[in-house]
């Protein structure tokens, strides 16, 4: 149908029913009549007038004057309301947004306060620049995050403390398309591709020292089983995320998060669910934390209350830290597998090349025979 012909983010609309609304003081919005909302399945029951904040890249409100279906295009009442909104001055427009039950408070400070627009819009500038401004403000970190910052033995640090700076950090974080979606979308993600050098010798990354008497046997074993070892290493390294057991500092929230891998080689870890607020769309069937695009995600961030924003920041920082060196995780698995194989070879399992262990440099490194 022509009513579903055009798209902006997840909103589908008919020709002629999207327009820019610009105020003289350099403040811009987009107003449209959505015929449907595409959340993986097109829903024409989710229709009505939508207001998008172009400067803050956020959804201000949607589903205003919703009809039973938008499949056949906007109703006469929706068309008339569209024209009325387009004719509003700033005072009328800000009151209209604030009084709407679908208004997303927290996305635009000037609308929230019914004041003149913030021509500088420092938060949006910082997001576009990808750099928090570091202005003084209220510290919203949770008690355990403050404790971690003060304890040199804790590897997790939370340098950003204000609502505005945390929003910038999260808004600019790595993202990826949701699982099995070919029509776009956005999820919070981590690149877990192994780009660093992996130590396949198994000598340097295990809890126990490798026995040099088995060096040649191990080389032959790796040559025969490299693909399997790599697959097991990647699977084991991500298991605490994908099996739902991951916890953030200090380790009392396991079971609160769900992750999955995405991408052609599974090189991206994505957050699929958490025990906090979900996107207004409800996400995709297989991913509760999927957004229509990054702009939808940024608008959602701006609407979070302070405790939830701080909790999400804590999660992102902890996973950032724990996934920063994927090659080390794989190297550790090679060392673990080598220790396992050395034990089996000492117990009598034949070496892969049929040879006996080489003589070690000293008696302490000789295998137990």
The pLDDT value given to residue 200 = 85
Q: Within 13 Å of residue 276, how many CA atoms lie on the same side as its CB? A: 21
Give the closest residue to 369 by CA, choosing from 360, 361, 357.
Answer: 357
Q: What six digits make up the tokens of 307?
A: 């405790």
SS3 119: coil
Where do the structural domains in the chain lie, given as residue ranges? 2-120, 133-369
The pLDDT value given to residue 358 = 63
The pLDDT value given to residue 362 = 44
Bond into 250 cis (ω within 30): yes
Strand 268-274 versus strand 187-191 pairing type:
antiparallel
Q: What is the pLDDT of residues 179-213, one digit of tens each?
A: 655 556 889 999 988 877 888 888 876 667 888 88
The pLDDT value given to residue 360 = 44
Question: Alpha-carbon distance 47 to 100, whole Å?
Answer: 15
The pLDDT value given to residue 184 = 63
The pLDDT value given to residue 207 = 64
From residue 326, how far is each of 91, 103, 319, 334 by CA, in Å?
Answer: 53, 42, 12, 13
From residue 192, how far is each of 145, 180, 238 by CA, in Å?
Answer: 25, 18, 9
The pLDDT value given to residue 224 = 87
Alpha-helical segments (H) within 151-247: 163-171, 215-242
Question: Alpha-carbon distance 302 to 164, whole Å?
Answer: 9
Q: What six digits make up the tokens of 199?
A: 């130590």
Provide the residue-wise pLDDT of the chain in tens; the chain has 369 residues. 577 889 999 999 999 999 999 987 778 999 999 999 998 889 999 999 999 999 888 999 999 999 999 999 999 999 999 999 999 988 889 889 988 999 998 888 888 877 665 544 678 778 877 889 888 889 999 999 999 999 999 999 999 999 999 999 999 999 988 765 555 688 999 998 887 788 888 887 666 788 888 888 888 888 888 888 888 888 888 888 889 899 999 999 989 999 998 877 778 999 999 999 999 877 676 788 999 888 889 989 988 999 999 999 999 999 999 998 888 888 888 888 889 888 999 888 888 865 666 654 444 443 332
Question: How many CB atoms are located within 10 Å of the residue 147 CB?
Answer: 13
Residue with tokens 């600019």: 172
DSSP string, 37-53: EESSSEETTS-EEEEEE
Q: What six digits make up the tokens of 68?
A: 């039973």
Bridge partners of 7? 12
């Amino acid at each position: 149908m022509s009513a579903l012909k055009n798209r902006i983010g997840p909103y589908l609309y008919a020709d002629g029913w999207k327009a820019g609304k610009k105020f003289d003081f350099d403040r811009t919005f987009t107003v449209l009549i959505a015929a449907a909302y595409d959340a993986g399945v097109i829903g024409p029951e989710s229709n009505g007038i939508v207001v998008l904040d172009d400067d803050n890249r956020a959804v201000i409100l949607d589903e205003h004057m919703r009809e039973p279906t938008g499949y056949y295009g906007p109703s006469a009442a929706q068309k008339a309301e569209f024209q009325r909104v387009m004719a509003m001055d700033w005072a009328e427009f800000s009151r209209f947004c604030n009084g709407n039950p679908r208004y997303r408070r927290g996305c635009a400070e000037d609308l929230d306060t019914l004041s003149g627009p913030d021509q500088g819009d420092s938060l949006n500038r910082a997001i576009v620049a990808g750099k928090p401004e570091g202005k003084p403000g209220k510290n919203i970190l949770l008690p355990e995050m403050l404790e971690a910052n003060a304890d040199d033995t804790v590897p997790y640090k939370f340098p950003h403390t204000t609502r505005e700076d945390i929003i910038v950090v999260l808004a600019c974080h790595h993202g990826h398309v949701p699982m099995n979606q070919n029509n776009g979308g956005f999820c919070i993600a981590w690149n877990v591709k192994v780009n660093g050098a992996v130590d396949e010798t198994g000598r340097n990354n295990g809890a126990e020292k490798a026995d040099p008497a088995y060096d040649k046997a191990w080389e032959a074993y790796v040559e025969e089983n490299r693909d399997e070892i790599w697959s097991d290493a990647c699977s084991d390294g991500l298991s605490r995320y994908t099996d739902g057991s991951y916890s953030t500092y200090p380790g009392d929230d396991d079971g609160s998060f769900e992750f999955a891998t995405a991408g052609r080689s599974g090189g991206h870890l994505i957050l699929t669910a958490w025990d906090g607020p979900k996107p207004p769309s409800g996400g995709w069937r297989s991913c509760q934390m999927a957004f229509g695009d990054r702009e939808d995600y940024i608008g959602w961030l701006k609407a979070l209350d302070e405790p939830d924003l701080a909790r999400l920041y804590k999660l992102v920082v902890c996973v950032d830290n724990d996934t920063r060196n994927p090659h080390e995780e794989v190297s550790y698995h090679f060392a673990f597998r080598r220790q396992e194989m050395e034990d089996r070879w000492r117990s009598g399992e034949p070496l892969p090349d049929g040879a006996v262990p080489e003589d070690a440099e000293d008696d302490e490194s000789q295998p137990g025979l």
